[in-house]
Structure 1
Amino acid sequence: MREGSLDAPTRHPLDWNNPDFYDLEKLDAEMRRVLDICHGCRRCFNLCDSFPRLFDLVDASPTGELDEVDSKDFKPIVDACTLCDLCYMTKCPYVPPHEFNLDFPHLMLRYRAAERHHGHKDAIGDQLSQTDRNGKLAGLVAPIANWASERGNALTRPVMEAVMDVHRDAELPKFNSKTLVARAKSEPSAVNRAAPAFGKRKAAIYATCFGNYNNPDIGIAAQKILAHNGVELRVEYPGCCGMPRLEQGDIADVAKKARVVAEAFSPLIDQGYDIVALVPSCALMLKFEWPLILPNDPLVKKLAQATFDISEYIVDIAKKDGLAPGLKPLEGGVTLHLACHARAQNMGAKATEMMKLIPDMKQGESLAVIERCAGHGGSWGVRKEFFEVGMKVGKPVMRAAVKENKAHIASECPLAGLHIRQGMEREGKDKDGFVLPPKAEHPVELFAKAYGLL
């Protein structure tokens, strides 16, 4: 049997319509097969908390092997998985086409889907993952919602912890009373006169639920950058990509969302529009996860081929068309975190490439790049049980960011950015000379600032 593989990794479609997918005996057999291989390898010990939990279980068993581990003890391993995909994309030597055929994240997803199928649902997780509903409702009372969710609010946060299982110390994203789609219509981008005329490219910015309801500034920054570079634009939000529902194992709902969004974008793709996602998790869903869930849907395939991550798209413009003039240096330097779901897109470090297009932005000097999981994992990282686990997983990122002590902290993942900055606040409170950046930003916000567009 080969030790690892030199072949390019591939991924099999999710067989979620097959009754065997939810058969508990077959699932347990596959869990034991895969976890035994993971135990024998242990390359992923430092990626997330799933693998230390597995290895501790095995090491504590009478034989030191998986055969003495009770199947009921597998659940904490599954619960600790954030579906970041890094084990599959960066560490595991046994992914297909290797004969071991390991796909750890999709096995964890299958376990959660089987739990749902058999009536064991995470009721609170289900509510937290209803991003469109939550965004619309919170947006109606945004000042009140933001006051109530403020870290340190002794009146509301203990209640949220008791009722919603949201850790009282977790930094939570704010809501906006005006969505990105609404702002894009009422605040057209100021196109610099030096920018090329429209006609080279057309792009539909996929607002994403976070960009639409929580931080429209990311989308406005992207809109202004692309308009400045002569891209004909529109901002669209047909609905959530379904990543929060995927984390809950609700594959059927993800498939429903995929069909709706793919159908909405199909006419635009036919008109020559590129689809540009603001958040890496959403780009990953459109490019990779949806085609594995609906492998025979032609509209999903078409959308996957037309989708870009925002950093990827700006770098593509720079390489193929050349950027419009006007970029100026950013004062104080940048610490840049590369999001797991950006790395899992197998496109290279596009955020790093983008930031290095800014004058005087040199990696290792004014630009510090951190390529490690921040430990947030969507709604997982704010839950009472997992918040401190996420802070522990992300501690190397936070310590490195404090050590760099740059004026700006940026992450492609907005939730990871909030999490990292909170960890920096903890890690840097007793460090002489450390100055906490005023907020965590998306790299496109910094790129727009370098253009003088914000």
Structure 2
Amino acid sequence: MDLKQDNVKNLDACIKCSACTALCPVAAVNPLFPGPKSVGPDAERFRLEGIEMDIKCLNYCSNCKTCEVTCPSGVRITSMILGARERAKQSKHSDGKTLQHRFRDLVLGRAEYLGRLGTIWPSMTNTVLSISLMRVLMEQILGLSRHAPLPSYHTKFKPQGSFVQSDKQVVYFPGCFAKYNDAQTAQAVVKVLEHNGYQVIVPNFHCCGVPLQANGYFSRGRENAKKNLALMEPYLKAGLPVITSCTSCGLALKEEYPELAAAGAEYIGQQTYDLFEFLWELHERGELREDFQSVPVSLGYHAPCHLKTQGIGTPSVRLLRLIPGVQIQDLDAGCCGLSGSYGFKEEKYDIAMQIGKPLYQSVQQGVAEGRFQTMTTECGGCQVQIQHGSGVKTEHPVWYLIRAYDL
């Protein structure tokens, strides 16, 4: 990406306010990370002159994109940091990773392959991953923290032919978590869309590419993205919306896929919707089925970082408040800390837990005071981490629509 060709991303747009560093969740708890301004715009000026700085601290960036949400000038700071990491890897400049950590990052980046393996015999996979000795060995061999909350595997999501045959069609991009770790939620998404009269098309998508990118395998991540665009192109040309239920996948489709030199890239950004963003637009047009039954429940809500980056607010909160009996409170207590696979790593597990501590405490306090009973959030990783850090059950908000629709 050439920052000089895009004024929004231009280094000169940085006004040195340091708001990004002030609100960076990693910089707040890790003294080894000087903050996004220092390793982003400040260091980029040196990098553009061919002066390489110590890049080890770049790997502490969790890719949460809080800096980009905070920046008053719209500087793509995280993209700048990721670009520096990629260039350093291409130049073989040492990034401080051990051979063990390089292999681990390759494994974590291949979320799709892990999912395929894990769902061959999910009960056995989950049993093996729950054995303490196995977790110790995984830490020693792979560098995966023995304490990290590895998500369980379930039967793989296998979309059936849509029960609804309609002129109204959407494409559903489930993402790896829903596809391999939470197939019931993926099926719930399909049911809600079908209940609203849509025929749901689910091509055999690959991983969106975000795990590969986050773990340093940038070209492979783009390869995945191009494969997915090839699958979507005919539907995009026909004007069909693409629906996501994972906020990280949704952000990638909206912001990163349009930058690819591939057919379909010119459509994907404008035609991708978060599930609740799409449903809320139906509501505003008077097209959403609102035959809701009462669902007496009080919920705490966590807005995932990658939802905030999309700039669409919290449509799930607005929509769930339409359901009789639902009470929902947006905690607004910061990042959960997991950031995809970031918090699974032995050297970053404690950092992730420190980042998420205010959120966990807010969740526990809310339950203890009786303000809400359980938690909800769109991001599968956030669900796993909040449950791990607070001990409070957390699930996708689509489940409250399922109950309201009596599906």
Q: Is TM > 0.5 for Structure 1 vs Structure 2?
A: yes
Q: C-alpha displacement at 1:41, in angstroms? A: 2.5
How far did residue 37 of structure 1 move? 7.2
1:221 touches 1:445 (CA, 8 Å); kept in 2? yes
Q: Quote the Cα distance in structure 1 between the aligned partners of 2:33 and 2:243.
A: 42
Q: Per-residue CA shift, 1:37-90, capped at 9, x if unaligned?
A: 76x6255334311466568869xxxxxx99xxx9765522x222111212112x
Shift of 1:166: 1.4
Structure 1: tracts of 5 or more residues without a match: 1-13, 19-32, 59-64, 96-101, 192-197, 426-435
* Amino acid in the other structure paired with 1:179: K
Identity %: 23
CA distance 1:297–1:422, change in 2 (3 Å): same
1: CA distance, partners of 2:178 / 2:20: 35
Match of 1:284 among 233, 251, 261: 251
Say if 2:214 is the partner of 1:247.
yes
Q: From the superposition, tell whether residues 110 and 174 of structure 1 become closer, same or farther in structure 2 (CA, over 3 Å).
A: same
Match of 1:135 among 115, 119, 123: 115
* Pairwise CA distance, 1:337: 0.7
1:416 counterpart = 2:402: no
Cα offsets for 1:242-295 (capped at 9, x unmatched): 000111233322221222111111112334432111201001111101223x2x
**Which residue number corresponds to residue 232 of structure 2?**
265
Counterparts of 1:37-76 in structure 2, within 5 Å, are 41-42=18-19, 44-50=21-27, 53=30, 74-76=55-57
Pairs within 5 Å for 1:26-45:
41-42=18-19, 44-45=21-22
Identify which of 393, 401, 407 aligns with 1:447.
401
Match of 1:109 in 2: 82
* Match of residue 172 from structure 1: 150
C-alpha deviations, 1:414-434, integer Å up to 9, x for none?
Answer: 111110111112xxxxxxxxx
Residue 185 of structure 1 corresponds to 160
Decide which of 365, 372, 395 is 2:357's aligned counterpart.
395
Shift of residue 359, structure 1, vs aligned partner: 1.6
**TM-score, normalised by the number of residues in structure 1:** 0.76
Q: Cα–Cα, structure 1 residues 336 and 346, in superposed 2: closer, same or farther, change >3 Å?
A: same
- Native 8 Å contact 1:411 1:441 kept in 2: yes
Q: Partners of 2:251 and 2:33 in 1: how far apart?
A: 31
The alpha-carbon distance between structure 1 residues 301 and 270, as it changes in their structure 2 partners (threshold 3 A), is closer
Contact 1:113 1:248 in 2 (8 A): no
1:54-453 alignment, distance < 5 Å: 74-76=55-57, 78-89=58-69, 91-95=70-74, 102-119=75-92, 120=94, 122-150=102-130, 153-176=131-154, 178-180=155-157, 182=158, 184-185=159-160, 199=166, 201-292=168-259, 294=260, 296-361=261-326, 366-371=327-332, 372-405=334-367, 406-425=372-391, 436-437=392-393, 440-453=394-407
1: CA distance, partners of 2:129 / 2:88:
30
CA RMSD of aligned residues (A): 2.9
* CA distance in structure 1 between the aligned counterparts of 2:302 and 2:316, rounded to whole angstroms: 9
- Deviation of 1:367 after TM superposition, in Å, equals 0.9
Unaligned runs of 5+ in 2: 5-10, 36-41, 44-50
Distance 2:233 2:151 in 1: 31
Greater alpha carbon shift after TM alignment, 347-356 vs 198-207 = 198-207
CA contact (8 A) 1:47 1:373 kept: no
| Partner deviation per Cα, 1:103-159 (whole Å, 9 max, x = no partner) | 321122022212321345732111111012111112112112111223xx3221111
The secondary structure found in structure 2 opposite 1:342 is helix
User: For residue 367 of structure 1, what is the amino acid of its counterpart?
Assistant: I
Count of equivalent residues: 377
Output the amino acid matched with 1:422.
H
Between the aligned partners of 2:19 and 2:234, the Cα distance in structure 1 is 47
Q: Are the equivalent residues in 2 in contact too, given 1:368–1:404 (CA < 8 A)?
A: no
SS at match of 1:384: coil
The one-letter code matched in structure 1 to 2:349 is F
Q: Distance in 2 between matches of 1:56 and 1:340?
A: 19
Counterpart CA distance in 2 for 1:138 and 1:253 is 21
**Aligned AA for 1:332?**
V
Which SS does the other structure have where 1:49 is aligned? helix
Distance 2:122 2:214 in 1: 26
Secondary structure of residue in 1 paired with 2:160:
helix
Structure 1's 154 and 251: CA in aligned 2 closer, same or farther, altered over 3 A?
closer
In 1, Cα distance between the equivalents of 2:34 and 2:264? 44
Render the CA deviation track for 1:377-407: whole Å, top value 9, x for unaligned: 1111111111121111111111111122122
